[in-house]
Amino acid sequence: MSNQNQTEKRAIDLVNASLKKRYAKERRFRHVGQAAVIMGLLFVSFLFISIIGNGYTAFEHTFVRLNIEFSEQEIDPEGKRDPQALSTANYAGLVKAAMRAEFPDVKARKDKRALYKLISSGASLALREMVLANPEIIGTKKEVWLVADDDIDMLIKGHIDRNVPESDRRVSDKVIGWVEQFESKGAVEKQFNTTFFTNGDSREPELAGIGGAVMGSLYMLLVTLALSFPIGVAAAVYLEEFAPQNRWTDLIEVNINNLAAVPSIVFGLLGLAMFINFFGLPRSAPLVGGLVLTLMTLPTIIIASRAALKSVPPSIREAALGIGASKMQMVFNHVLPLAMPGMLTGTIIGMAQALGESAPLLMIGMVAFIVDIPGGPFDPATVLPVQVYLWADSPERAFVERTSAAIMVLLGFLFIMNFLAIILRRRFERRW
């Protein structure tokens, strides 16, 4: 007995002796876990800070006020106010004239050319719009805010440092001098950048916008939604409610699960070989993008829809069958409406996936440089994430800003979609 007691004591002493070390380990493990979480959170914040920090300035753009003389001689020497003549007139000349008037002492050809480059080439288009909208303006003199060149914009926003030696910066001292002259007169101003939202792509950063890409994304999502929602729901209904348990259904199931994990670029190869080369559908069209993304999002939607159908209790089915409904009536009148919120949630998440996807779209030619805003799913177009990819390749500092801003818009859309999905789930989630 006493011997036993002694060994017991020994055991607990040993336990106590090991405790310090073990607790040190415990603490270390805990700290490692904590560090992992903090790292993860840091990555998230770093990502967002870097993008927002780079991009928020793109929502404003620098404008320069110029005293434009809408001289009749330049615009409409014949005085007929013929719209054809008005729209082909030399508006860039007006801008140049105004600049010359502003800086009368700039004489050298090279300097003049540099001077004209202060104002974006898009300014003449703006003037044309003004004249076409209101021809009475011709012959008058008016102060107009015109879009500044992207380098000037970067200078004003401070992305080009004025203190750096001249050879290291894109803007020469002379240009800075002119800009400062404008600034001293209050003729430089940052205004909300509407062009960014309404324009299509452009080689000139100050004229480039996401309007075309947003429309392209919209058409593509419409095609995807119109195809993947009905097909996905139908497939889920069949597999969950009608399919017999056999090898064929197993095969379908394995296929769906695997497709959900196939790299997206492989779907791009499918789209290229099948839809474009074999069926001869147009390249760069949102239609083809939509088809490819339909195949990609189907697994997501089918899996979510099946989960929604599974959550409808069997008692509902029995009740419907019990009063003599056919199986089809039971499914379409009772089960499907109850499962609909879950299916819609899955569909929204699938659409969010499709909206953010870019790799397969590179394969089917949606990387083309497209200036026009697409008018339908057959027009060549690009989409928002691909626009980000295209701009990310451009060297100009102004495109970095616009890329980040485009990402912010993209993330905004994704946030809204996911938020909708969460609301839908909260609102209609039933506990049986």
Partner 1 sequence: MPNTVLILVLLGLMAVAYQLARKRSLGVVGGGAGVRKLHSLPSYYGFYAAIWCGLPALIVFGLWNAFQSTIITDLMVADLPAEVRSLGQAELGLVVNDIRNLAEGNITSGEVSPEMRAAADHYLSLEQTSAAALAVVVLSLAVLGTGLAWRLVSPKFRARNQVEFVVKGLLIISSTIAIFTTIGIVLSVLFEAIRFFEMIPFTEFVFGLDWSPQMAIREDQVGSSGAFGAIPLFAGTLLISFIAMVVAVQIGLMSAIFLSEYAGKKMRAFAKPVLEVLAGIPTVVYGFFAALTVAPFIRDNGSLIGLDVSSESALAAGLVMGIMIIPFISSLSDDVINAVPQAMRDASYGVGATQSETIRQVIIPAALPGIVGGVLLAVSRAIGETMIVVMAAGLSANMTANPLQSVTTVTVQIVTLLVGDQEFDSPKTLAAFALGLMLFVVTLALNVIALHVVRKYREQYE
Partner 2 sequence: MDTATAVDEMGGDMSQTVATEGAFDHEKASQAFVGKVGEIAVDNPRMTARKVNVYYGEKHAIQDVNLDIGKNEVISMIGPSGCGKSTFLRCLNRMNDTIDICRVAGEIKLDGQDVYDKKLDVVPLRAQVGMVFQKPNPFPKSIYDNIAYGPKIHGLVSNKADLDEVVESSLRRAGLWSEVKDYLDQPGTGLSGGQQQRLCIARTIAVSPEVILMDEPCSALDPIATAKIEELIDELRENYTIAIVTHSMQQAARVSQRTAYFHLGKLIEVGNTDDIFTNPSHKLTEDYITGRFG
Strand pairing report for 141-147 and 188-192: unpaired
Q: Tell me how far, at minimum, the Cβ of 4 lies from partner 2, in Å.
A: 5
- Binding site partner of 14, from partner 1, partner 2, none, Cβ cut-off 5-8 A by kind: partner 2
Among the listed ranges 16-24, 115-123, 258-266, 380-388, the one in contact with partner 2 (CB under 8 A) is: 16-24
For residue 346, the partner it binds in partner 2, partner 1, none, with Cβ less than 5 to 8 A by kind, is none
What's the rounded Cα separation, in Å, for the pair 348 and 20? 53
Q: Which is nearer to partner 1, 175 or 298 (CB)?
A: 298
Among partner 2, partner 1, none, the one that 98 touches (CB under a kind-dependent 5 to 8 A) is: none
The answer to whether the CB of 147 falls within 8 A of the CB of 120 is: yes
18 binds partner 2 (CB under 8 A): yes
147 vs 407, beta carbon nearer partner 1: 407
Supply the minimum distance, in Å, between the C-beta of residue 425 and partner 2: 26
Q: Does residue 22 bind partner 2 (CB under 8 A)?
A: yes
Give the C-alpha separation, 430 to 419, whole Å.
19
Q: Which is nearer to partner 1, 75 or 344 (CB)?
A: 344
144: left (phi over 0), alpha (psi -120 to 50) or beta: beta
Least Å distance between CB 403 and partner 1? 6
3-class secondary structure per residue, 373-416: CCCCCCCCCCCHHHHHHHHHCCCCHHHHHHHHHHHHHHHHHHHH
Q: Are 212 and 381 in contact (CB under 8 A)?
A: yes
Question: How many of the chain's residues bind partner 2 (CB under 8 A)?
Answer: 14
261: partner contacted, choices partner 1, partner 2, none (Cβ within 5-8 A by kind): partner 1
- Cβ(189)–Cβ(62) under 8 Å? yes
Give least dist CB 266 to partner 1, A.
Answer: 5
CA angle 220, 225, 230 (to 5 degrees): 145
If the CB atoms of residues 64 and 355 are measured against partner 1, the closer one turns out to be 355
Q: Which is nearer to partner 2, 10 or 310 (CB)?
A: 10
Question: Residue 62 is inside which H or E element, if any?
Answer: strand 60-69
Q: Out of partner 2, partner 1, none, which partner does residue 17 contact, by CB within 5 to 8 A per kind?
A: partner 2
Judge whether 312 and 243 are in contact, CB under 8 Å. Answer: no
Pick 48 or 192: Cβ nearer partner 1: 48
CB of 328 to partner 1, least distance (A): 4
Residues 2, 12, 78, 261: which binds partner 2 (CB under 8 A)? Answer: 12
Distance CA 84, CA 89 (A): 9
**Would you say 17 or 261 has its CB closer to partner 2?**
17
2 near partner 2, judged by CB under 8 A: no
27 binds partner 2 (CB under 8 A): no
Measured distance CA(73)–CA(139) in Å, rounded: 8
Selection from partner 1, partner 2, none that 29 binds (CB < 5 to 8 A by kind) is partner 1
Residues 6+ apart with CB under 8 A from 42: none
Question: If binding is defined by CB under 8 A, does position 11 make contact with partner 2?
Answer: yes
- Contact of residue 125 among partner 2, partner 1, none (CB under 5-8 Å per partner type): none
CB 417 within 8 A of CB 352: yes
Element (H, E) at 259: helix 247-259
Residue 212 in contact with residue 373, Cβ under 8 Å? yes
| Least distance (Å) between residue 25 CB and partner 2 | 10
Pattern 366-395, binding to partner 2, x per CB under 8 A? ------------------------------
Exposure string over 171-188, b if 16+ CB within 10 A, otherwise e: beeebbebbeebeeeebb
The one of partner 1, partner 2, none whose footprint includes residue 16, by CB under 5 to 8 A per kind, is: partner 2
Residue 7 binds partner 2 (CB under 8 A): yes
Q: Does 19 bind partner 2 (CB under 8 A)?
A: yes
Residue 432 touches which of partner 1, partner 2, none (CB < 5 to 8 A by kind)?
none
24 binds partner 2 (CB under 8 A): no
Smaller CB separation from partner 1, 34 or 87: 34
What does 296-349 look like in DSSP terms, one character per residue?
HHHHHHHHHHHHHHHTS-HHHHHHHHHTT--HHHHIIIIIHHHHHHHHHHHHHH
Which spans of this chain sit near partner 2 (rule: CB under 8 A)?
Answer: 4, 7-8, 10-12, 14-19, 21-22
